[in-house]
Amino acid sequence: MPLTAEQQAEIDSQSNLQILTKRPVSPGLEAMLFKALPVLDHGFVRVVDYMGDDSSIVQAARVSYGAGTKKVSEDRGLIRYLMRHHHTTPFEMCEIKYHIRLPIFVARQWIRHRTASVNEYSARYSIMDREFYIPEPEVLAAQSKINNQGRGDILSSEQAAAVIHLLKQDAQQCYDNYETMLKPAEEDGYGLARELARMNLTLNSYSQWYWKINLHNLFHFLQLRIDPHAQYEIRVYAEAMLKTLQAWVPIACEAFEDYRRGAVTFSASMMQVLGKMLNGETVEQDNSGLTKREWTEMMQMLAPYQTK
């Protein structure tokens, strides 16, 4: 489902428009507008439109008439305070709209985030293109033995080649049958309605949608989907979107990196254990009051900061 020549021409014409405005404008994001950031083998993320910038967050927080303070350092301090103390509504004053091309199975996972406005390409009215997501061998892994929703060891080169062959074969065969069902009887087909024929497509077929969300909810999406435990195929989309935020709201994005993405949360019980450790007490899992899983999670969070 690549962009057609007509679609690309329309995008190019929009990119060349120069419109004067009194609204806040983000120079960094302006430079990225309409440019597709490639993701996976045939996917992309591109910014279509946006509203607000870092100064809009400050303006909303202070309910001021201007566009923020004259000192960037003061705006930065306020934005970091808001992020640190979970004052979220000022971040909701900024919105962004993306055009995203993604495999259907990624879209079905993505749509669980119900805080966005979405309009997806409809296979009821249009015919899907013959393009499918085929993973690279290095991301093909066996089911994890300790995580029911994660991956374990990478498949051998022979196993990966066999899996890729099956994925390509199944996707092509299903699409061939999809085309046959759509063709009219005079072309040796069945003339089946598009809304019915689409059920035969594999989940690695590419779809696309417009996805509009406010900054607060986008930060929440990114916090979950950039996490190393998130599925690889959705994580790479989140990483591409983070690049657009770094250009759009650099101060807010910096605060997000410090207080959300790079931060961890300890429970009250974990804090008691940490207090004992800081006081020099020897604490093990069996006398910590934590479950084995809680203990393991806490040790994993502390591991990067422990000296050998």
Q: How far apart are CA 56 and CA 64, in angstroms?
A: 10
Choose among 211, 17, 5, 24: nearest CA to 118: 211
Q: What is the DSSP letter of 62?
A: H
Q: How far apart are CA 51 and CA 117, in angstroms?
A: 15
Q: For residues 223-256, b (16+ Cβ closer than 10 Å) or e, as one string?
A: eebbeeebeebbbbbbebbbebbbbbbbbbbbbb
Torsion of CA 62, 67, 70, 74, to 10 degrees: 40
Q: How far apart are CA 289 and CA 270, in angstroms?
A: 9
Catalytic residue among 46, 101, 198, 225: 225
Q: Locate tokens 């293109």: which residue? A: 129
Q: How far apart are CA 226 and CA 205, in angstroms?
A: 23
The three-class DSSP label of residue 119 is strand
Nearest-Å Rg of the Cα atoms of the chain is: 24
Is residue 227 a contact partner of residue 90, using CB atoms and an 8 Å limit? no
Cβ-count burial of 219 within 10 angstroms (0-12 exposed, 13-18 middle, 19+ buried)? buried
Choose among 231, 239, 215, 221: nearest CA to 103: 231
DSSP 94-116: -EEEEEEEEEHHHHHHHTT--SS
Cross-strand pairs, 39: 43
Concerning whether 108 is annotated as a catalytic residue, the answer is no
Is residue 108 a contact partner of residue 280, using CB atoms and an 8 Å limit? no
Backbone angles phi, psi at 232, to 5 degrees: -55, -45
Active site residues: 225
